[in-house]
Structure 1
Amino acid sequence: MMHGILQAAKAANISRAPKYNLLVCFDAFETLYAPKEPVHKTYGQFARDNGLQHASDHVVAVYLHDRITKAAKEYPNYGKHIQGMNPEAWWMKVIKNIFVDVEPSLRDAAHKAQLDDLGRRLFHHFSTRDAYKTASNMPKLLQSLKHHSKSNSSTMDKPSSIGHVVLGVISNSDDRVGGILSSLGLDVSPLRFQRESKQDTHFESARPVDGKSYDVDFTVMSYDVEESKPHKLMWQAGEMLARRAVVHELGRFDESVPWLKLYVGDDIKKDIESAWGCGWNAVLLKEFITENPRDERLESLDEEEMLAKPVTEVLAGHSPRMFTVNRLETLVDWIVKRGLEVSAGSDGSANHSEERFKLVKSME
């Protein structure tokens, strides 16, 4: 009798304990994946294989950045609102202009088919896993983060301090991110932001399979939002899609459950400061970074003292925080062991009424 009363009291206490949902979003390029070799070298090799013998890596490097910058000004957002242009046509135009600069004789109409073939081959190469390396063990790490509570029997019989995990990608890019991640081995939801016009904040998106748990729940690309990081609409789009992802997977959205929001990127200004300024905790992942940015606001997640703390204690303070971590594996391991495997009620709570622990319902 007494044992039953104690068990019931314990269960009631756990049910009242602070519990959160977790939204983790990633930058794509040079965070989750990066080119296997410098882009200008790949361009040069493809060109030489296509018969353009004057296309040395050095010469291609001279023109590459300039032609991309010029095309971005002449045909904004990969030519999205220009009739007859899409990201593939935009990149083919960039590639053509690079190699016409390298070999002026290619301006002759007789070389059009050769340049078109080169452009298509490069575009499709950079649309698949063939072009990229990943952060070490990236696909399996994201899968373990998303599905841990469902696949680990040790967490099934006790409420975790984190109830549901949503994974997304927020990237300044054209529309290929989802396809690239799929080719790298991830099951990516078709849920993505779509805007009907620059003035219209309503959006429609492809419909995921109801009840299915994807590895990546949604993608937010600047091509779709028509703004790019650090603009706040990128973060608002991510929060709105997170809401939809939960409804599609669970069939409901509980407004009473507070959210921890974490963004992982490689750029201190566009990613870390921008996310932090919009109420997200942010992590600078240094796996592909060659420079070591110095910023006293950045706290290290590689320190043993920090890794020993529960995720909710670190992320649920009254103000968002900025961190650095050397490897994706360290970050995911911390979230799993000190978040998904920590019982509810075993760590500190936060003021759940704060706006920072809610997901936006509409875009400004």
Structure 2
Amino acid sequence: MKENILISQEKTILEALQRLNTVRDVSRLILFVIDEKQTVIGSLTDGDIRRSLTKNVDLQLKVRDICNKNFFFEYDTPGFLNLHSYRKKNIKILPILGRDKRMVRLVDLEKTRSLLPLECMIMAGGRGKRLSPLTDKIPKPMLPLGDKPIIEHNIDRLISFGIEKIYISVKYLGEQLQDYFGDGSKKGIRIEYVWEDEPLGTAGALALVTDFETENVLLMNSDLFTNVDFEDLYLDMVKNNSDMVVASTEYKVDVPYAVFETDGEKVVNFQEKPSYIYQSNAGIYILNKKLIKGIPKNKFYDITDLMENLVKEGGKLNFSPIRGYWIDIGKPVDYKQAQEFVKHIKG
């Protein structure tokens, strides 16, 4: 949170104008007025100041006398916060306050799509042999894609959905990821690294986290390039009361021959060169953290093992189709496709 967006109620209009000139990297020039207890009592924009000056040309008026005390805000809660209603009202900046009305954080609705109550683990420990020699000295998640590494595209998208705590499981050349992202503070989040002494599969690293703070955990592969809507995925899980939801992508199979429908040896119908579309695993999951207790510690364990056990035990596993683009960067042809595709993606 930017401290210069808070201003004491005792400051003057002139001082407020000077402070507004220092506000950067937000979608609207706005200040929040605080009292001596740091309680937020109102908001102040350049429009509020102009309206005051048209009535009384006095730059020495205190901001407490002209601020908007009926400003929009939300209390800080651990649950899901729907931002769509604020967008409909053209609200650009939404303050999140504690129960004491002190500022906890600011949400810039131009940059933040959602506020999901999720922590995330990104699986980034693989060797990436199929992309050799590109990955001989650089871990696959750190291969450049446009102006930043593959994994940074995913981290930035997670941030845009309000996810503030990310674990990254690392093994092969993991120091490069650690050096690049550090503790995440430069991006305004927290990042922790989970080191795999031996390869642990696509889910084994989850068992190395002592305790996730959120009820549900997002797990994803690091080598994806996608604009998946994490909010859709989360809401599908909530709506269906699922134990786990898997993002899916369409996989089309074209059969180059006629396919018979038979009754014994008799052909009762046939289709000429049919196409079949299947929903396939896209490498992005949200799961209830209680499932993590079933993952053996320090043993190889794939997410498909967890999914199989969940279905066998009568748990609820759902899929949620990705409605945007999705590229799994596993082979050189995939990497080349992603490099071309990213050129046409806006900011």
Fold-level similarity (TM above 0.5): no
Q: Which has the larger radius of gyration?
A: 2
Could you say which structure has the higher strand fraction? 2
Which of 1 and 2 has higher RCO (CA within 8 Å, sep 6+)? 1
Could you say which structure has the higher helix fraction? 1
